[in-house]
Structure 1
Amino acid sequence: MVKNALQAQLLKAGLVDNKKAKKLSKQAVHEKRTGESNEAEIKAKIEQDQQQKMAKDHALEQGRKAVLQEKELKAAIMQMINQHKIRDTDGESTYQFIDDSKIKKVYINQQIYNALVAGSLVIARENCSYAFLPKPLADRINAKMEGFIIVNNSENNEQTTDEEDPYAAYVIPDDLMW
């Protein structure tokens, strides 16, 4: 026999069985008789659960904000690359470079080729193609986020030679055509 309407509904829904319903009703009667109640424990547990949920939600929100900021930064860099790239680069000279462990070849004019070898221009990744950018702009892009600049020959020009190297007098030019 069920004494509580809620217990009757739970039994009808199949969420509890007769044994569990009797146990709950006996427990309620015992709490009334002895005056013991777990209300403080239940409230503390609820409060703790709410704080954990808030902390979890806060961490998720911070993650979403970080992803959104990264997307915005990438979009801003792509816009900078698109606005400042050198447009007329077609020519007969070939320039080969490594991108993602693959050798890529671009056909450029001699003026762009000389600027690339000297280090005043760099090659940047622009979506699925490549763009030629001035060195100061490339430095600004690298300061914001790395990974867009593929070829930067100004770093190679500043290398020092080893004094004990027997071939130090024989410098290999960067613009050597094979």
Structure 2
Amino acid sequence: MVKNALQAQLLKAGLVDNKKAKKLSKQAVHAQRTGQSDDAAIKAKIEQDLQEKLAKDQALNAEKKRLLDEKTLHASVVQMINHHKIKDTDGEISYQFIDESKIKKVYINQQIYNALVSGSLVVAKNGESYAFLPKALADRINEKLAGFIIVNNAENNNNDVTDEEDPYAAYVIPDDLMW
């Protein structure tokens, strides 16, 4: 008994006998039942798809981890600013600085003003307001994440180099000039 047309044609041509045809059909049925097919290409495709999915999942997990780390770092910097900011700063002296290409004005006391001008305190962005932090803490914050420190006069004081050919080098303009 022949099961498919190819076997029937091979039997008619005399290339295969009945015994050989039955053996081949039994092997095919057995392979189909046990799932052992010779489709190596299908197995390779499945394996390749599995590897691609695994790589894609790893990339997504790495991106999620990076975003979570970034969010955690941002939260820790905000917590450091809130914990170490100088609280009693209200006064009558106005201090102006630039934030995002806009001039901002805060009113502070004389002690805070002197510390800001000398560079021992810095102005940091604290949400929608501003905080005054010690210079050492500001350096640590800048190492972790840039963008929080707005005014750092210690950097400006180090960069003051007078040009020898400048005719107005003898006339020093004070940083704390009140207009």
Query: Could you say which TM-score interval applies, normalised by the shorter chain?
Result: 0.7 to 0.9
Cα distance in 2 for partners of 1:38, 1:100 equals 67
Mapped pair 1:53 → 2:53? yes
Once residues 163 and 42 of structure 2 are traced to their aligned partners in structure 1, the CA distance between those partners, rounded to angstroms, is: 74
* Paired amino acid for 1:163: E
Instruction: Let me know the Cα RMSD of the aligned residues.
Output: 1.3
Map of 1:127 onto structure 2 = 127
Q: Report the equivalent of 1:176.
A: 177
Q: Following TM superposition, by how much is the alpha carbon of 1:81 offset from its aligned partner in structure 2, in angstroms?
A: 0.5
- Where in structure 2 are the equivalents of 1:54-73 lying within 5 Å? 54-73=54-73
> Runs (4+) of structure 1 moved beyond 6 Å?
none
Bigger Cα Rg:
2
Number of aligned residue pairs: 143
In the alignment, is residue 138 of structure 1 matched against residue 138 of structure 2?
yes
TM-score, length basis structure 1: 0.77
In the aligned structure 2, how far is the partner of 1:43 from the partner of 1:172? 79
Aligned to 1:109: 109
Q: Which runs of 5+ in 1 are unaligned?
A: 1-31
Q: Secondary structure at the match of 1:56?
A: helix
Q: Which runs of 5+ in 2 are unaligned?
A: 1-27, 29-36
Could you tell me how far apart the structure 1 residues matched to 2:165 and 2:95 are? 32
Normalising by structure 2, report the TM-score: 0.77
Percent of aligned positions that are identical: 73
Shift of 1:38: 7.0
The CA distance in 2 between the partners of 1:52 and 1:171, in whole Å, is 66
**Whole-Å Cα distance in 2 between the matches of residues 147 and 165 of structure 1?**
34
